[in-house]
Amino acid sequence: MSIVSRLLNTSSGSSDAFEIVPMRRRHVKAILAIEERIYPKPWTAGVFNSEIDMARRDERHYVVGTVGAELVAYGGLMFAVDEAHITNIAVAPEFQRRGHARRLLLHLANVAVERGFSALTLEVRVSNTAAQAMYRQFGFAPAGVRQRYYENSEDALVMWVHDIDSPEYRARLDALAGVTS
């Protein structure tokens, strides 16, 4: 792409350069640079490396999102017995509101479906209405509260979506893919 077309290719148009690839240890430095800007209690390199190791053993699934050479987003899944758990999903502040988190979540939901899970769950800060709005688009609904879950102070909303192996949920994911593409 030429410099001129890149400059013209702002806002939603630039999103077509977004690519999702498996998370590797070499990504952790760039991930931490984002993590430390967006979370009051960021994960450490040790946590990410350990999650990547578990992904190698197929106990997790972690990906990063890139725009050109830049790592701009990341997210992951933990596999439990009956459900998959969204562990993290984050987009660098200057790349937010371009549909990248929706693309990542679509990818993660598809992985969960392909692996035969019938439900997805996650925890989200009660104050994080932006993330909650996105999760609702994917059919997540509040199922409970974990009190003082974050920093022993803020409550977590526990959200679930069930029947992700149904044709109805396939149709929902396909519709979301249409919005994001």
Ligand X SMILES: CC(C)(COP(=O)(O)OP(=O)(O)OC[C@H]1O[C@@H](n2cnc3c(N)ncnc32)[C@H](O)[C@@H]1OP(=O)(O)O)[C@@H](O)C(=O)NCCC(=O)NCCS
Query: Site residues (CB under 6 A) for ligand X?
Result: 38, 89-91, 96-102, 124, 128, 130-131, 133-134, 137
Name the amino acid, one letter, at 172: R
In the complex with ligand X, which residue's Cβ is closer, 130 or 143?
130
Exposed (0-12), middle (13-18) or buried (19+): which is 181, by Cβ within 10 Å?
exposed
β-bridge partners, 77: 61, 86
Residue 127: DSSP 8-state: T
- Min separation Cβ 73 and ligand X, Å: 7
In the complex with ligand X, which residue's Cβ is closer, 45 or 130?
130
Active site residue 123: yes
- Min separation Cβ 92 and ligand X, Å: 8
In the complex with ligand X, which residue's Cβ is closer, 111 or 158?
158
- Min separation Cβ 130 and ligand X, Å: 3
List CB contacts of 97: < 8 A, sequence separation 6 or more: none
Active site residue 114: no
Phi, psi of 74 (to 5 degrees): -160, 165
- Per DSSP bridges, beta strands 154-162 and 60-67 are unpaired
Catalytic residue (one of 83, 123, 149, 154)? 123
Catalytic residue (one of 35, 51, 74, 135)? 135
Q: Which residue numbers are catalytic?
A: 123, 135
